Amino acid sequence: VAKPGMAAAFAHAATQSGAAVVTCVNHKWHSGERPPGDVRGLRAGWPTDESASDHWLPLGACEALGAHINCFGDAHVLIRRSAFDLVGGYTLDFGLGLEDWELYARLTLHYASDARAAWSHHESHANAGRAPIHHLVIPEPLYWYRLMKGGGMLARQHANSPSALAQRRADRLRSLRPYLEETGPCAPGEACAAH
């Protein structure tokens, strides 16, 4: 549930920074309850009471860490259309999750590749070697994230049945696809190198 001002904060951050991707911190609440306070009257920012102590602060674009955990953010995001189109947008794989993680990894790898190229080929340019500001995390909770005990990604992450384990593996492979595309195929036992 977006808090008042979330969209405006995302737009302002993108406009001022030039970021292609803007996300933020979230507050979590359990599905059996309403978010603390009146949803329509919630203000952005940290609560002044202990009603929402659980939150997630994504780190943003971290090329290496993003292969292991989703450090990028979740589906509450503002993405510039040009960046979205440049990397092909979301993939359409029915029944799989983690499409946001996959997209953020693809964007991160694309911009990291551009920054490496700028560093090696345009050293005389004033901004040579500086990675474009492409993924900005607003360090303020701007929405409530519902934790669903009996369903959603949370249930998939904690179930231990064979089908749940297979689903998690398939989801995880999806989030790794941009990295595998970047490195290309490699033989068993060989280290894969990025192109």
Q: Which pairing describes strands 21-30 and 55-56: parallel, antiparallel, or unpaired?
A: antiparallel
Helix (H, G, I), strand (E, B) or coil at 49: coil
- Cβ contact 115:129 at 8 Å: yes
Compute the chain's Rg from CA coordinates: 19
Main-chain phi, psi angles of 181, to 5 degrees? -65, -35
What is the distance between the alpha carbons of residues 143 and 131, in angstroms, rounded to a whole number? 28
Kindly state the helix (H) or strand (E) to which residue 101 belongs, with its residue range.
Answer: helix 99-121
Please tell me the predicted confidence (pLDDT) of residue 16: 92
Tens-of-pLDDT digits for all 195 residues of the chain?
A: 888 899 999 999 999 988 999 999 988 877 666 666 545 445 555 555 555 557 788 888 888 898 898 999 888 999 999 999 999 999 998 888 889 999 999 999 988 766 555 545 444 444 444 445 588 999 988 988 877 766 665 555 666 788 888 888 888 888 899 998 888 766 666 655 544
The residue written with tokens 């794989």 in the block is 93
For the chain, first and last CA: distance in Å?
41
Say how far apart CA 116 and CA 127 lie, in whole Å. 12
